[in-house]
Amino acid sequence: MLKFVTGVALGGALALVAVWQMAGSLMFEERVSPFSVEETVARIQQNVLAAGNGWALFGLRYPTRPVEAEGVSILPVMAIETCSPKYSGPILKDDKTRFLSLLMPCKISVYKKSDGKVYIGTMNAGLIGKFFGPLVAETMEHVVADQQKFLQFDPSKPAPPLVLPKVGGEGGGGGAAAGGC
Amino acid sequence: MDPRHWLMAALALVSLAATGAFAEAPTLADKLPPAAKGTADHGKFKELQRTFKSGPEVTRACLECHTEAAKQVQHTKHWTWEVVDPATGKKFGKKNIINNYCTTPISNEKDCMACHAGYGWKDKSFDFSREENVDCLVCHDSTRTYRKLPGDAGHPVYERKEFPAGSGKFVEAVDLAKVAQSVAMPSRANCGACHFFGAGGDGTKHGDLDSSLINPGKHLDVHMNAKGLNFTCVSCHKTIDHFVSGSRYQFAASRTGPPVARGKYDDEPASCQSCHGDKPHHENPLLMERLNAHTDKLACQTCHIPEYARDAIGTEKSWDWSTATKMGPEGKPVLIKDSAGRRAFDSKKGNFAWDSFLVPEYRWFNGKVEFKTVGEKIDPTKVVEINHFDGSAADPNARIWPFKIHRGKQAYDPELKNLLVVHTAGEDDAALWRNFDWPKAIVAGMETAGLPWSGKYDFVATEMSWPITHMVAPKHDALGCAQCHKDEGRLAGLGGIWLPGRDRSGLIDTLGWLAVALALLGVLIHGGARICVLCRKPKNEGNQAS
């Protein structure tokens, strides 16, 4: 009996260690982009604007700029902020899930690594949604489906221009719809 | 205390002491004097208190005092656009070589000479001996209002004009008197007016030079950092009698020895080693010996410029002339930009590819460079090397250097097998950018160059190499060991050296792992034996001992 309990405990501990090790990679996804940082961002922005379901651009951030200002040479990162009031509305309306505003607006990060390749980083919204009840889980399923469209590129189409933020860092073509997020 | 603990404590103390000592040491910026203002206010000189109608008029006024200046300039490549290789006697320089950007100034002088330190070079008739043709202001203007535009053969803007034509943007006429009265030592903006904008646009050509260096932060270049050391170009490119040191034609690729004191004669003042010596690492006592041991194989730039074009401006990676003259859907010339607003296609010029934060390509280089000159034979079955940087791992004068490789396609003669001189710029009917007619433009270009043309043309793949040497990152952002010492690292394709971490021997690896396995086995046997001995020891034996 003691051997059995010890075995189960050991197995459980090992499983926990494995989950702990994998949690990071499960929560976030990363893929290589065939385009430059700017073109990747512009193509995602274009896809967001074409996705429907209320999706709009909420902003475009440059997280490395403050680091550069400190005198550090750092590879570029551009963070696209997108939002759809159709999906954010019900979550923000419910007192129990309003705290999830912390995760809004949705972010897609585009960055270069020292191997010279451009990567796209996204949150695994589907998995995260499962932790917060049926409303969030269902909403996130829709978000995931739309996010897949954001990342589908057609190389035969010419590179679109970047949608640049308005002065002050906010905006980026968000318009009235984005203002609701 | 265990001796190992003493050793660790001592190492920690040494490390802390070293860190603290260097953290509090005054920086070079603290030691430098404030920017020199000079001893003469040119605004007070009567010779300059008048109206000037042309650049040569200003030069005549300058020469009244600076009697030898024009003669000095006329001996430099900024004036001649010609460099003679002392080893072979072969003539290089912009006047003689052909590149894979705009290709050559021959037959396009009126445009290209916007970057000549002179006035009036529009064709072969230009008089290189006339001192008044030397342009003093392009290097010494401190107002940043002095502009020379393509099409004016090196003259500044005398009358307000629309540029580019039809753009609705206007360039104001230069107030020559104001500029003449404000002359100063060259700033980064002076040199950058040409060197940042080579090949027709900001950052296009070099990859490590663009207008962000006019006022750079520390992250972009530790030496030019406007709030720090604030080096100008001539801080390193030390200039004597208007001869600016440092050249892509005669390169200091592998200087050795200690740093040279400023003021002492230095034949390569623009090299890193000129100030830093060849044993530059001294801050981390645990690493310095290993890092300094790399300097006989690596150029400083290889580690200290981890990426080039490290800004939003970026640089051009390729230029494909074969698509030039293609029109837009309405049959009119079009200009298409990429996502970052850089040129992607121009009916006049073809396709371009741009990017920022680029990882260099690495090659051996010993300082000897060969360039394709106008009319030289090529092998079109291979990618044509516009320039060739000599060197190999076996060459003691060679170092591994970082390069920007600009790739392209450009016109060549498939029968005579040479790159073609094309008359691109100009208002005449033969200019490619005006009539979009390749044969007409080639006839005009080759006639001007005095070269035969078979009447046929095609496009050949070319590449041109640019050693990267500016945009030096802060020391903490230099490449780490693992960037190269690994599989598929930065030096993955570089031959001739045994690179630990990248290269391996099956036999040595097997022996190593065998040693690890034997050590582990030894530990297990030893540990197991001790446990067995402890288990067999009678319980009361321990009590008696205590």
Query: Tokens for A134?
Result: 């049926």
Top-confidence residue, B458 or A176: B458
Chain B CB within 8 Å of residue A7 CB: no
Q: How many CB atoms lie within 10 A of CB A118?
A: 23
Q: Tell me the Cα Rg of chain A.
A: 19
**Interface predicted TM-score (ipTM) of this complex, two decimals:** 0.84
What digits encode the pLDDT tens for the residues A30-56?
999 999 999 999 999 999 999 999 999
Name which of A18-22, B455-459, B460-464, B526-530 the model is least confident about.
A18-22
Rounded to the nearest integer, the mean pLDDT of chain A is 89
pLDDT of residue B6: 52
The Cα of B169 is separated from the nearest Cα of chain A by a number of Å equal to 22
For residues B497-514, give the mean pLDDT: 93
Residue range B515-534, pLDDT digits in tens: 999 999 999 999 999 999 98
Please, what sign has the CA dihedral across residues A42, A43, A48, A49?
positive
Nearest CA in chain B to A40: B339
Of A38, A68, A74, the CB nearest to B340: A38
Q: What size, in residues, is chain A?
A: 181
DSSP state for residue B503 in the 8-state scheme: B
For the residues A130-140, what does the mean pLDDT come to? Answer: 92
Nearest CA in chain B to A77: B357
- Cross-chain Cβ contact B356/A115 below 8 Å: no
Closest CA to A57 of A173, A159, A153: A173
The Cα-based distances of A88 to A48, A133, A147 in angstroms read: 15, 15, 14
Smallest CA-to-CA distance from A36 within A103, A116, A98, A92 is with A116
Mark yes or no for CB contact A162/B341 under 8 Å.
yes
Which residues of chain A from 45 to 74 reach within 8 Å of chain B, CB to CB?
A: 67-74
**pLDDT of res. A167:** 55
Does the CB of B405 have a partner CB in chain A at under 8 Å? no
Residue B36 pLDDT: 56
Does the pLDDT value for residue B186 go beyond 80?
Answer: yes
Chain-chain contact of B339 with A75 (C-beta, under 8 angstroms): no
Least CA distance to A78: which residue of chain B? B312
Judged by CB atoms closer than 8 Å, whether chains meet at B477 and A73 is answered as yes
Tokens found for residue A63 = 């997280």
- Give pLDDT, residue B37: 67
Chain A interface, mutation test: which of B212, B213, B313, B339, most A Cβ atoms within 10 Å?
B339
Residue to test with chain B: of A37, A62, A73, most B Cβ within 10 A: A73
Q: What angle do CA A23, A28, A34 make, to 5 degrees?
A: 140
What one-letter code names the amino acid at B520? L
Mean pLDDT of A164-170: 59
Please give the pLDDT value at position B83. Answer: 94
Whole-number pLDDT of residue B251 = 80
Q: What is the pLDDT of residue B119?
A: 98
Query: Which residues of A are less than 8 Å from B356 in CB distance?
Result: 36-38, 76
pLDDT in tens, A64-93: 999 999 999 999 999 999 999 999 999 999
Q: Is A39 on the interface with B (CB under 8 A)?
A: yes
What tens digit of pLDDT does each residue of B317-328 get? 999 999 999 999
The pLDDT confidence band at residue B540, using thresholds 50, 70 and 90, is low
Per-residue confidence band for B541, with pLDDT thresholds at 50, 70 and 90 = low
Q: Answer yes or no: is pLDDT of B377 > 60.
A: yes
Mean of per-residue pLDDT scores for chain B? 91
Residue B130 reports pLDDT greater than 90: yes
pLDDT at A3: 77
- Asked whether the predicted pLDDT for residue B12 surpasses 80, the reply is no
| Cβ-contact A103, A181 below 8 angstroms | no
Beta carbons of B117 and B81 less than 8 angstroms apart: no
| Res. B9: pLDDT tops 70 | no
Structure-token pair, residue B31:
């030691």
To the nearest whole Å, the CA of A148 is away from the closest chain B CA by 21
Q: Convert the pLDDT of each residue in B32-51 to its tens digit.
A: 444 556 789 999 999 999 99
**Structure confidence at residue B283 (pLDDT):** 83
Residue B509 vs residues B500, B503, B515, B521: alpha-carbon distances, Å: 12, 11, 10, 18
CB distance B219–A76 less than 8 Å? Answer: no
Q: Which pLDDT score is estimated for A171?
A: 39
